[in-house]
Chains A and B, each alone.
Chain A
Amino acid sequence: MRAPSASDIAAGEILLSIENVSLSFGGVRAIRDVSFDIKKGEVRAIIGPNGAGKTSMLNVINGFYQPQHGRITFKGETRTKMRPYDAARGGIARTFQNVALFKGMSALDNIMAGRTLKMKRGFLWQILRVGPALTEEIEHRRRVEEIIDFLEIQAIRKVPVARLPYGLQKRVELGRALAMEPELLLLDEPMAGMNLEEKEDMSRFIIDVNDHFGTTIALIEHDMGVVMDLSDRVVVLDHGVKIADGTPDAVKANQDVIDAYLGVAH
């Protein structure tokens, strides 16, 4: 698949739109009346200082948090809140800020678990593990091995993930999300805590996913260099409020953004 060019994206079809969403926890107003959209095929960065509400926004998008106000339109369907199962069904996958792998399982099983929604055989077949159930298992194993090859983690596929170093855990987690063959991939600080070389690898994977599979990506990242390089458009949050939205260059030049990052009093 060909990656959409910048002009394609500018004219592009909207995959997800967030309208006037507000979310609070008791007194804490994590998101305040935020609207933005994500277009098909783009890499959309969400940036902002600590506690700005970035993770909360991803949680709203895939239904883990339910906003008090606002509407979410995904693939043309509008609702006031997502449900996690519907989000997964609809093709939204994600990785987590603090790696949320299945610790007791091998890397391979973690990624295989990402295929759950695609596997259809009921448990009577699985008990026998013959015929269609076995064929299905092998077929999905083949798809998962492609992802393993793509992420270059062949050597660790049978290792329980708890024993892997942090950088590799992040990679397995990306693999698990890719196994869902998502239309929209939410990445919450995929490069946090990595060294330069690992960051370069991860950037390459993200670009490849976006280019080759045409997957739309929403990316939270603190490293400005990475954001500038990878993203097509950037939305900036601060204290739950959207303060800027536009191309990386426009956002970088925006005075509000500079103030927010330098901590100027409001």
Chain B
Amino acid sequence: MLYRETGQFKTSYAADMAIFPIRQDRIALGALLIFAFVGVPALDAFQVWPFGGEYLIRAILIPFLILSLAAVGLNTLTGYCGQLSLGSGAFMAIGAYSAYKFGTGVRIPLEIFTIDIPPLPVFWCILLGGLMAAFVGILFGVPSLRIKGLYLAVATLAAQFFFDWLFIRVKWFTNYTSSGSVVAPDLTFFGLYVNKPIERYMLCLIFVTVFALMAKNLVRGNIGRQWMAIRDMDIAAELMGIRPLYAKLTAFAISSFMIGVAGALWAFIYLGAWEPLAFNIDRSFQILFMVIIGGLGSILGSFLGAAFILVLPILLDQVPHALGIAVSVETVSLLVFMVTGALICWLLIVEPHGFARLWSTGKEKLRFWPYPY
């Protein structure tokens, strides 16, 4: 079937405002979701190639989903609201350690009385992890009202280093384990014990689908327009009654919430046991690169970017291998750096809106193909 709008007349504004107004897009998305929710478990159950063993799900799909969520989170802030952040790693860490503390019981002895919260169910821990990150995100968002661009990026970088330091030095966060590494509580969700990789995958899929949908709703609604207005021309936005304080802080809150949840999922579901290094500055850059490569200001782009950044090292490792060329591990990681770096430079020069824009330009051409207009 051709990719056409012809014959798809919209008879109401509601139809024109649907999440994917073009029928072919809706079919494609539906197919993708069915594959993710039904196809993958089925293929896994029958151990069809490439689902043999657990490698694909455990080492590729789960991290892909979680980091996509983090990228969606960063994209709402940086892509839609125009506030550059280098602190994603820190916000993931806040989500992870908050979830850990709520999962193992929070005990704060004060002068007069002791705050004592018993261990909470994992599901709530993950959401609380997101909420704590949102709270800190709002605090760090306040300076964004005064400082912009690169200066703000430096402030978020400071946040990154501060939280790296905090989670290493303040032993309370790691429940005084001698090594500083901690183990996630058992994953029981509403009475269901989630353990097998496919179960973990489904859990992540549900989280990511729900949050990506929410993000999509926000960016195409009134708040999303306020974010973009602030990003594109803050003075004109202010003169129209858009309050920079409200727009920026909601962007920081939503973004940090999603990144915090991603951090909690990363720790509990992907890693299982972790140390502060898991959320250092490298993680921040990794997520930023996903957003830049995938496309600033695109939810779909966040997923494309995450897929690319995760699959690239595997490809660079496997392809020479398959061709019978011996490549050392160091060379592969060096190649990854070079390819990512070169690609980012190329994109920043040629197509600042990343893969998502290349994709939509392609679609636009296709709509009129074979006519040039």
Contacts and interface: CB of A to CB of B under 8 A. Distances in A.
A204 interface: no
Interface stretch (A45-53, A126-134, A207-215): A126-134
A29 B14 CA distance: 52
Nearest to B236: A100
Interface residue SS majority, chain A = helix
A79 interface: no
Nearest to A141: B13
Interface in A102-124: 102-105, 109, 112-117, 119, 121, 123
Nearest to A90: B241
Interface stretch (A81-89, A217-225, A239-247): A81-89
A137 interface: yes
B75 interface: no
Interface residues of A, number: 40
Q: Which of B13, B218, B243 counts the most A-chain CB atoms under 10 A from its CB?
A: B13
Nearest to B79: A104
B118 interface: no
B233 A116 contact: no
A129 B221 contact: yes
Nearest to B246: A123
B239 A126 contact: no
A116 B225 contact: yes
Given A85-B238, A117-B241, A126-B223, A104 B218 contact: no
A105 B13 contact: no
Interface of A: 62-64, 84-85, 87-89, 93-94, 96, 100-105, 109, 112-117, 119, 121, 123, 126-129, 133-134, 137-138, 141-142, 145, 176, 180
B17 to A, nearest CB: 7
Contacts of B228: 102, 104-105, 109, 113
A123 B14 contact: no
A46 B250 CA distance: 39
A45 B250 CA distance: 40
A117 B226 CA distance: 10
The interface centre, meaning the residue of A116, A128, A141, A176 with most chain B CB atoms within 10 A of its CB, is A116
Given A87-B239, A113-B242, A105 B218 contact: no
Contacts of A138: 12-14, 17
A88 B232 CA distance: 19
A128 B13 contact: no
| B contact face: mostly helix, strand, loop, or mixed | helix
B314 interface: no
Nearest to A105: B228
A102 B233 contact: yes
28 contacts: A64-B239, A84-B238, A84-B239, A85-B243, A88-B239, A100-B233, A100-B235, A101-B232, A101-B236, A102-B228, A103-B233, A113-B229, A113-B242, A116-B241, A119-B222, A121-B222, A123-B223, A123-B250, A126-B223, A127-B214, A127-B218, A133-B221, A134-B14, A137-B221, A137-B222, A138-B12, A138-B14, A176-B240
A104 B232 contact: yes
A105 B225 contact: yes
Contacts of B250: 123
B217 A128 contact: yes
Contacts of A88: 239-241
B223 to A, nearest CB: 5
Given A64-B239, A113-B226, A141-B13, A126 B218 contact: yes
B237 A102 contact: yes
A113 B225 contact: yes
A117 B233 CA distance: 17
Per CB-CB distance, the 10 closest pairs between chain A and chain B, nearest first, are A88-B241, A102-B232, A100-B236, A129-B217, A117-B241, A126-B221, A141-B13, A113-B225, A127-B214, A119-B222
Given A85-B241, A116-B222, A133-B221, A64 B229 contact: no
Given A64-B239, A123-B250, A127-B217, A109 B13 contact: no
Nearest to A134: B14
